[in-house]
């Protein structure tokens, strides 16, 4: 997605992701790309602060359409990454999107925990309120 949108006027791509991690990209912020790489095991409060800063960048851009690649692999018990979000954090993230009033759609991008169905339900429930 980053490669597709890089340098395209009128688009903003924002990503919060673990770095280092697969595929090892996402460290530069240029030409409509805002990357927020975070270290493995970042304290939960700090991760939520980074997510808030990334969300503020999105809202400040005032997009006509928000497409969310929802990465549930940021969950503390995901077997692939070493991030620290808990279920209630996904509620917060969903609420931010819902309260923004932005036309939006989402797709599942990552998440491999057995808790994935509950995380998705929590996130979408908060988004749709």
Neighbours of 77 (CB within 10 A): 13
| Residue 99 backbone dihedrals phi, psi, to 5 degrees | -75, -15
Please, which pLDDT band fits residue 71 given cuts at 50, 70 and 90?
A: very high
| Residue 67 backbone dihedrals phi, psi, to 5 degrees | -110, 125
Whether the model clears a pTM of 0.85, i.e. scores above it, the answer is yes
Average pLDDT of the chain is 95
Please, which pLDDT band fits residue 60 given cuts at 50, 70 and 90?
A: very high
Residue 50's alpha-carbon distances to 26, 27, 67, 96, in angstroms, are 15, 14, 19, 14
| Residue 59 backbone dihedrals phi, psi, to 5 degrees | -60, -40
Please, which pLDDT band fits residue 59 given cuts at 50, 70 and 90?
A: very high
Please, which pLDDT band fits residue 31 given cuts at 50, 70 and 90?
A: confident
**Of 101, 46, 110, 126, residue with least CA distance to 75:** 110
Please, which pLDDT band fits residue 25 given cuts at 50, 70 and 90?
A: confident
Whether 23 shows a pLDDT value over 80: the answer reads no
Q: What is the mean pLDDT of residues 92-121?
A: 96
Residue 101's pLDDT is 95
Distance CA 76, CA 44 (A): 9
Residue 24's pLDDT is 81
């Amino acid at each position: 997605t980053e490669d597709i949108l890089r340098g395209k006027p009128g688009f903003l791509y924002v990503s919060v992701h673990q770095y280092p991690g697969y595929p090892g990209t996402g460290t530069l912020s240029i030409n409509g790309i805002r990357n927020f790489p975070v270290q493995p095991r970042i304290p939960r409060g700090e991760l939520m602060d980074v997510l808030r800063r990334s969300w503020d960048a999105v809202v400040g851009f005032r997009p006509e359409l928000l497409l969310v690649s929802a990465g549930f692999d940021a969950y503390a018990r995901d077997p692939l990454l070493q991030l620290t979000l808990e279920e209630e954090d996904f509620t917060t993230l969903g609420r931010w999107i819902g309260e923004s009033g932005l036309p939006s759609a989402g797709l599942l991008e990552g998440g491999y925990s057995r808790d994935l169905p509950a995380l998705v339900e929590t996130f979408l429930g908060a988004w749709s309120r």
